[in-house]
Structure 1
Amino acid sequence: MEGFWYKEWSQGRRFVIKISPGEPLRKRLLEFAASAGVKNAVIVSAVGSVKNVRFRGIKAGARLPITEPRMHQHEAAGPLELLGLEGNLITDEKGEIDSHLHVLLGKSSGEVVGGHLFDAEVFATCEILLTEMLVEGIERHPSKSGGVSTIFIDEEA
């Protein structure tokens, strides 16, 4: 197929995850997945509050491939409302779980910022609803154009 690829997946187990104050969000999410034996998953919902957030945005006028000079790194001390966290956990080519996460953050002023999440520390609470994806033939690989690892689909698997 040209221009797009796809894989059908079945829903596996569903989890409610609560991460405590002071904990690193991404690290704890990946540790949970490893301990529960989750290979691939999608975040259905996430709410709470965070601080010490590191995320990125793509600079206006950027061209492909997205490289460091074409990104803007942001750091927000917070605390900030976690208005949204979306993304997926996919096993990489080494068999280790990796994540691709995007975040929406609410400032006390009412402004909303967001982008590709590198990490954040939970402030008061973080509640994540996660659905396991039962699928074969997908892996996360470094992207030549995207600046982060993205899903690779093996159409024959």
Structure 2
Amino acid sequence: MEGLWYKECSNGRRFIIKITPGESLTTRLLQFAHLTDVRYAMIVSALGSVKNVRLRGIKTGARLPITEPRITIHDIEGPCELLGLQGNIVPGESDLLDYHFHIMMSKSSGEVVGGHLYDAEVFATCEIVLTELDVSGVERHVSKVGGIPTIYIDEEAP
């Protein structure tokens, strides 16, 4: 169907993960995936607190492809309450694992901010529920249209 691609998948193993203070959220999640041989996964829930957060937002009025001038990088010192983390882990270029995470957090003022997560340092704790996906034929590649890494679905793969 033009404009829509999909791949049926089923749940594999499920994990409860705790990341301790001072650790990189993204680095530890990728290390966990390598350690447990998880190739495809999605975050079900996440909470805790973070600091030294680097995230991206797309500028108002931007058009495709998304390029450096069309994004805003935000560095937020925190600490902030982690209200949510969503995203997935799939193989990327050269078959290395790649992630696409979005974060939502609240500042001490109660203001809620979020965007595409580059990295964050765990402040007090981070508790994540992650589920492995049983699927094949899904990879992340840079989209010529979007200009950013996005999933590619091979509908012919088993």
Task: Please classify the TM superposition score into its range, dividing by the shorter chain length.
Answer: over 0.9
Distance in 2, matches of 1:143 and 1:110, equals 36
Instruction: Give % identity.
Output: 67
1:7 Cα deviation after fit: 0.1
The residue that corresponds to 1:30 in the other structure is 30
SS in 2 for 1:155: coil
1:6-43 C-alpha deviation (Å, 9 max, x unpaired): 00001000000000100000000000001000000000
Alignment of 1:45-64 (within 5 A): 45-64=45-64
Q: Indicate the SS of the match to 1:29.
A: helix
Q: What is the CA RMSD across the aligned residues, in angstroms? A: 0.8
Q: Which TM-score applies when normalising by structure 1?
A: 0.98
Return 5+ residue gaps in structure 1 as ranges. Answer: none
In structure 2, the residue corresponding to 1:30 is in which secondary structure?
A: helix
- Between the aligned partners of 2:117 and 2:145, the Cα distance in structure 1 is 18
2:98 pairs with 1:102: no
Q: Following the alignment from structure 1 to structure 2, what is the Cα–Cα distance between the partners of residues 121 and 148? A: 24
What is the alpha-carbon distance in structure 1 between the residues aligned to residue 62 and residue 92 of structure 2?
27
Q: Against the structure 1 CA distance between its residues 53 and 147, is the aligned structure 2 distance closer, same or farther, given a 3 Å change threshold?
A: farther
Q: CA deviation at 1:143?
A: 2.0
Instruction: Tell me the CA shift for residue 145 of structure 1.
Output: 3.4
Structure 2: unaligned runs, 5 residues or longer: none
**1: CA distance, partners of 2:151 / 2:5:** 10
Once the two structures are TM-superposed, the CA of residue 4 in structure 1 deviates from its matched residue by: 0.7
Partner of 1:135: 135
Q: Whole-Å Cα distance in 2 between the matches of residues 59 and 104 of structure 1? A: 18
Tell which deviates more after alignment, 14-23 or 91-100.
91-100
1:149 deviates by 1.2
The separation in 2 between residues aligned to 1:72 and 1:83, in whole angstroms, is 21
Q: Which residue of 2 aligns with 1:123?
A: 123
TM-score, normalised by the number of residues in structure 2:
0.97
Query: Deviation above 6 Å: which 4+ runs of structure 1?
Result: none
SS in 2 for 1:52: strand
Residues in 2 aligned to 1:79 and 1:147: alpha-carbon distance in whole angstroms: 32
Between Structure 1 and Structure 2, how many residues are aligned? 157
How many Å separate the matches in 2 of 1:84 and 1:66?
24
Q: CA 1:47–1:147 in structure 2 vs 1: closer, same or farther (change >3 Å)?
A: farther
Q: How far, CA to CA, are the matches of 2:18 and 2:143 in structure 1?
A: 31
